[in-house]
Amino acid sequence: MFDRDRFIAECQDAASRNATDDNAIRGAVRDILARAVAEPAAVLRGLGEPSRAGIDVLYRSNQITVVNLVWARRMSIMPHNHNMWALIGIYTGREDNIFWRRMPGADPREITAAGARSLCAGDVDVLGRDIIHSVLNPIDRLTGAIHIYGGDFVAAERSQWDAENLREKPFDHAEARRLFEEANIGPGRA
């Protein structure tokens, strides 16, 4: 059985035991996340059946942030970075990631697609601190994922890229919240 408080305590303990080695923290926390989502039905029971899209910060410190992230049906979000490593563990649904990179010799604020990866229930992925990605829930139901970040994700200075012209600008938390709320309403109804 997945126990949210025990899961967070294990992540905290792994971060504090390895406090001077960021790679060791990421590896230890990845193992904890992988064990948890290996039983997606247990995580689903422990966190509850998702009923709406949103970002629920379960734990936040200078070392790690643990988030229960729920994507709405067919929701997408613009390219963005985290400026810290990230772990994604899917416990229901599917999350498609498009990875982006800056082009040498091009305008440094512009990006181009560089790869993609689909994650299904039970999958875990590791994103390096310099990764830029956009996310799509391509299915017709909610997708639930535990995202763990290697720092204070909420306070971090980050960037996002305009979905139409792929130009960089500072990350806008209000815009992100609005996207999730509009996704809960549904396309064309906001």
Domain membership of residue 109 (yes or no) is yes
Output the pLDDT for position 108. 72
Q: How far is CA 78 from CA 39, 42, 132, 155, in A?
A: 30, 31, 10, 19
Domain membership of residue 190 (yes or no) is no
- Total number of domains in the chain: 1
Q: Determine contact, residues 98/133, Cβ cutoff 8 Å.
A: yes
Kindly give the parts of the chain with pLDDT less than 50. Answer: 189-190
Output the pLDDT for position 187. 61
Domain membership of residue 160 (yes or no) is yes
Domain membership of residue 169 (yes or no) is yes
Phi, psi angle pair for 40, to nearest 5°: -60, -35
From 91, 51, 97, 38, select the one nearest 67 (Cα to Cα): 91
Domain membership of residue 142 (yes or no) is yes
Dist. CA 82–CA 88, nearest whole Å: 13
Output the pLDDT for position 190. 47
Structure tokens at 44: 């689903």
94: CATH: 2.60.120.10
Domain membership of residue 63 (yes or no) is yes
Q: What is the span of the domain harbouring residue 26?
A: 4-185
Q: How far is CA 60 from CA 9, 20, 103, 108, 138, in A?
A: 12, 18, 33, 31, 29
Q: What is the 3-state secondary structure (H, E, C) of the chain?
A: CCCHHHHHHHHHHHHHHCCCCHHHHHHHHHHHHHHHHCCHHHHHHHHCCCCCCEEEEEEECCCCEEEEEEECCCCEEEEEECCCCEEEEEEECEEEEEEEEECCCCCCCEEEEEEEEEEECCCEEEECCCCEEEEECCCCCCEEEEEEECCCCCCCCCEEECCCCCEEEECCHHHHHHHHHHHHHCCCCC
Phi, psi angle pair for 121, to nearest 5°: -50, 130
Output the pLDDT for position 19. 76
Structure tokens at 165: 């012209």
Output the pLDDT for position 30. 97
Domain membership of residue 173 (yes or no) is yes
Q: Which amino acid is at 39?
A: E
**Residues in contact with 18: Cβ distance below 8 Å, sequence separation at least 6, in sequence order:** 24, 25, 28
